[in-house]
Homo-oligomer: A and B are copies of this chain.
Amino acid sequence: MKPWEAYIRKAVPYVPGEQPEGNRIIKLNTNENPYPPAPGVLKALREMNGEQFRKYPDPSANMLVEALADSYGVKEEQIFVGVGSDDVLGMAFLTFFNSERPILFPDVTYSFYPVWADLFRIPYETPKLDEAFRINPEDYKKANGGVVIANPNAPTGTALPLKAVEEIIKANQDVVVIIDEAYVDFGGQSAVPLIHRYENLLVVQTFSKSRSMAGMRIGFAMGCETLITALKHVKYSYNSYTMNQPSIILGTEAVKDREYFERRVADIVRTREAAKIRFRELGFSCTDSCTNFLFVTHEKAGAKELFEALKREQIYVRYFAVPRLDNYLRVTIGTDEEMETMYQFLTSYLKGL
B57 touches A9 (CB 8 A): no
Contact mask for chain A residues 7-47; partner B; CB cutoff 8 A; 1 contact, 0 none: 11111111110010000000100101111110001100110
Copies of this chain, complex-wide, total: 2
A260 and B241 alpha carbons, distance in the complex (Å): 26
Q: Contact check, A11 vs B234: say whether CB atoms are below 8 A apart.
A: yes
- Which B residues are in CB contact (< 8 Å) with A230? 8-9
- Taking the closest CB of chain B, its distance from the CB of A98, in whole angstroms, is 5
User: Contact at B59–A19, with CB atoms within 8 Å?
Assistant: yes
Does A157 belong to the interface (CB within 8 Å)? no
Q: Min CB distance, A124 to chain B, in Å?
A: 14
Query: With contacts A11-B234, A200-B4, A238-B119 known, is A214 near B94, CB below 8 A?
Result: no
| Chain B: CB-nearest residue to A239 | B86
Q: Is the CB of B217 within 8 A of A242?
A: yes
As a 0/1 sequence over residues 222 to 245 of chain A, the CB contacts with chain B under 8 angstroms (1 = contact) are 000010001011111111111111
Given A8-B230, A9-B96, A90-B239, 8 more contacts at CB 8 Å? A3-B173, A7-B97, A9-B94, A9-B98, A56-B215, A83-B244, A116-B238, A215-B244
Q: List 27 A-B contacts (CB under 8 A).
A: A2-B199, A3-B175, A4-B174, A4-B200, A7-B98, A11-B233, A12-B233, A13-B234, A13-B240, A15-B236, A19-B55, A19-B58, A36-B51, A45-B48, A45-B50, A50-B250, A54-B214, A55-B215, A56-B208, A87-B242, A115-B237, A215-B245, A216-B246, A217-B241, A217-B243, A244-B246, A246-B246
